Chains A and B, each alone.
Chain A
Amino acid sequence: MNKKIQKALAVAATATLALGVVSISQAQAAAKVTTVSIAYQGPLSGGEAQTGIDEQNAVKFALKQYNDTNPAVKVTLVSVDDQGDPSVAGTVAPGTAANKNIIAVVGPAYSGATIASLPYYKAGNLPMISPSATRVSLTNPKDKASYGGPVFHRIPSTDAKQGPALAKYAVQGVTSPKVYVIDDQSSYSTGLRDYVLKQVAKSTLVGKDSIPNDATDFSATLSKIKSTDANVVIYTGYFSQASKLIKQLRGAGYKGVFAGGDGVLNQEFADLAGKDAEGARLTGGTIPLADADPALEVKFKAAMGVASGVYAVESYDATNIILAGIKAGKLTRLAMLNWINAYSGTGVAGNTISFDRFGDTAGAGFINGFVITNGKVVSKGQIK
């Protein structure tokens, strides 16, 4: 036999075998309709990993509680790691969308990653509930490039609320504030920055800068802050850069207020920056689980082996909405989407959760303030 023909036959035989395996496994899957999957998508590795690990722990906790009740339909978790990075999200989202076992996604955690994932989830009718993506345009139908409807939903309030709250919280108690605003050029950061700038009075704004997310040396920015004599620095990026920035700020002798949004709100910010993080003021449309339901926090610790992190309540609520749908027999993506759109229930914090037609929660509307005290993120309650 000709060598070429031999090769072609070999390829054909392998392909047939492979297809056979696929069809068998599909048949098996069809036989076992009693198991469905939900995905969690967020940064599980990379600089922002702590955010994703904290959120996913809450998702796992909700799933464990559900599966422990021996339900008719078991639910498994698929972890989707987008590193919080839009370019990575664009490569992992197609696989998530194509996995027909996944009927809903908790996440993505970050706004930029959400925008990059949306085209695939919209095409696959895959419903999403994000516990932490706060960029305003995600629920604005006029913004064609980043509008997430009808599949996107989120629990926390948006940066339209967080921006002004952050600007207010940063200058609280500061006599004659001089505000310097820094962003990291990401979709989340520039969006939040714009809403912060709307609130900061023109007379108090002394400068702004935009530092790429991979910068290591901030000395030029430090010099500008020094030359403008700023006493309030607001950073709208994420915690791993924020920890570098605050270290260099304090190292250069800056004594004023450092404030950040929910991107900075993370225990790892305090861990990485150490003593320099003391007194930093942070905001977020989230409430710590220990404050919302202390008894549940005890159970969480017992089940997961660690304390809950930031956005635990929102991740837990998002997962429970989906689990309630599964209990009600919504086992396809479309049925789940309709379920979520029509959902109305109570969250851990006692708030009513239901979604408007653009995917925002009707009940959410608070932004909490936090201060780093003795190396820990401490909640100071709602920013009025």
Chain B
Amino acid sequence: MFSVLIDQFWSLTISGIALGFIYVLISLGYTMVYGVLRMINFANSEIFMFGTFATVVITRDVFHYTSLTTHSTGFRLVLILLLSLIASMLTSAVVAVFVEFVAYRRLRARGTNKLATLISAIGISIVLSETMRLLTHSRPTGSGRVLEKISLGTLWGANIRIDNVLTIVAASIIFILLDRFVKLSRMGKAIRAVSMNEDASKLMGVNLNRVISTTFLIGGLMTGAASFFFVTVYENTKFNIGFSMGLAAFTAAVLGGIGNIRGAFAGGIALGLLETYASAVLGTQWKAVTVFITLVLVLLFRPNGLFGEAIQQTRA
């Protein structure tokens, strides 16, 4: 039973971390919004889904990639990857700001209770996924292989694949940029101020609406980056892809301590590893069971998640 884990430990670990980084980026979408609004953005799964289609559109429609096209190299490869990443990030960011405007802003302005906002977010989420379902006739969409999944060598017997490395390195850079932005920039400080005390920050002259829109925008950018990595690694998407990925990322956010961006990081990586190890040891059919039992156990002992209370000041 454990022989697979021992035999394939590093190979499992690397793919677990790569998957974990995708979770990290999506869970930032949840955690950023929760940080400022104390509300779950249930439409984040659809923000992710729209991002995946942006990458597909760039590769399939702009660069005419089919499932039979040979992969690209050199400058063309970098160009396609970069354009896809930007397109996914921008698409998700636009959808996120749209969601904030439609589902949150007006309700907030009228002082409705949080439950109404929650339902309107779920509503917009359904509208978004059903729209994509109709546009794609519910069919799965494959993406051509732009990046040949070559092996960069082996490390402790594990095959180091370029798509995993790309995900881990690029997602780390994006995460560090976000962390620095929230810590050091003027807007970042405003976001943290609103997160700690909304009324006090208003009194200090923080423009609440702008902060909230920016938070949605940043959350969307992060989720969009996740969409790009997802399509690059797994080469497919579907109108309902947001549900399973969104649920996993939300779990990661809660596991790490929702509202805390470093918590999202820890939660995402932990979840990616946990899922991969559990599938290897117990069989894939036990993956979800293991994940949620672990989540419940963690919350029993640390009700605010792994990092919930420990580093309040970095709340985003």
- Complex Cα distance, B287 from A222, in Å, reads 15
- Complex Cα distance, B148 from A274, in Å, reads 13
B144: contacting residue among A226, A227, A274, CB under 8 A: A274
- Complex Cα distance, B267 from A64, in Å, reads 58
Q: What's the least CB distance linking B18 to chain A, in Å?
A: 8
Quick check: A271 and B279 within 8 Å, CB to CB? no
Residue A122 interfacial (CB < 8 Å): no
Residue A293 interfacial (CB < 8 Å): no
Task: Tell me how many residue pairs across A and B have CB atoms closer than 8 Å.
Answer: 115
Residue B112 interfacial (CB < 8 Å): no
Residues of B within 8 Å of A, CB-based: how many?
44
User: Nearest residue in B to A45 (C-beta to C-beta)?
Assistant: B138
Residue A244 interfacial (CB < 8 Å): yes
Residue B16 interfacial (CB < 8 Å): yes
Given A210-B285, A219-B19, A275-B68, A243 and B11 contact (CB-CB distance below 8 Å): no
A interface, size bucket: 35 or more
Q: Tell me which residues from 215 to 239 in chain B have a Cβ below 8 Å from any Cβ of chain A.
A: 230, 234-236, 238
B280: contacting residue among A214, A220, A244, A375, CB under 8 A: A220
Q: Which residues of B contact A214 (CB under 8 A)?
A: 244
Interface-located stretch among A10-18, A247-255, A344-352: A247-255
Q: Which 9 A-B pairs have the closest CB atoms?
A: A274-B67, A220-B279, A219-B15, A45-B138, A223-B8, A220-B280, A272-B142, A210-B285, A251-B149
Quick check: B12 and A220 within 8 Å, CB to CB? yes
Quick check: A272 and B285 within 8 Å, CB to CB? no
Binding site for A on B (CB under 8 A): 3-4, 7-8, 11-12, 15-16, 19, 66-68, 133, 137-140, 142, 144-145, 149, 151, 159, 161, 163, 230, 234-236, 238, 241, 244-245, 275-280, 283-285, 287-288
User: Nearest residue in B to A251 (C-beta to C-beta)?
Assistant: B149
Given A49-B139, A210-B283, A216 and B8 contact (CB-CB distance below 8 Å): no
Quick check: B284 and A271 within 8 Å, CB to CB? no
Contact residues of A: prevailing secondary structure = helix
User: Nearest residue in B to A241 (C-beta to C-beta)?
Assistant: B140
Quick check: B11 and A274 within 8 Å, CB to CB? no
Quick check: B68 and A274 within 8 Å, CB to CB? yes
B140: contacting residue among A211, A223, A240, CB under 8 A: A240
Residue A46 interfacial (CB < 8 Å): yes
User: Nearest residue in A to B159 (C-beta to C-beta)?
Assistant: A253
Quick check: A223 and B285 within 8 Å, CB to CB? no
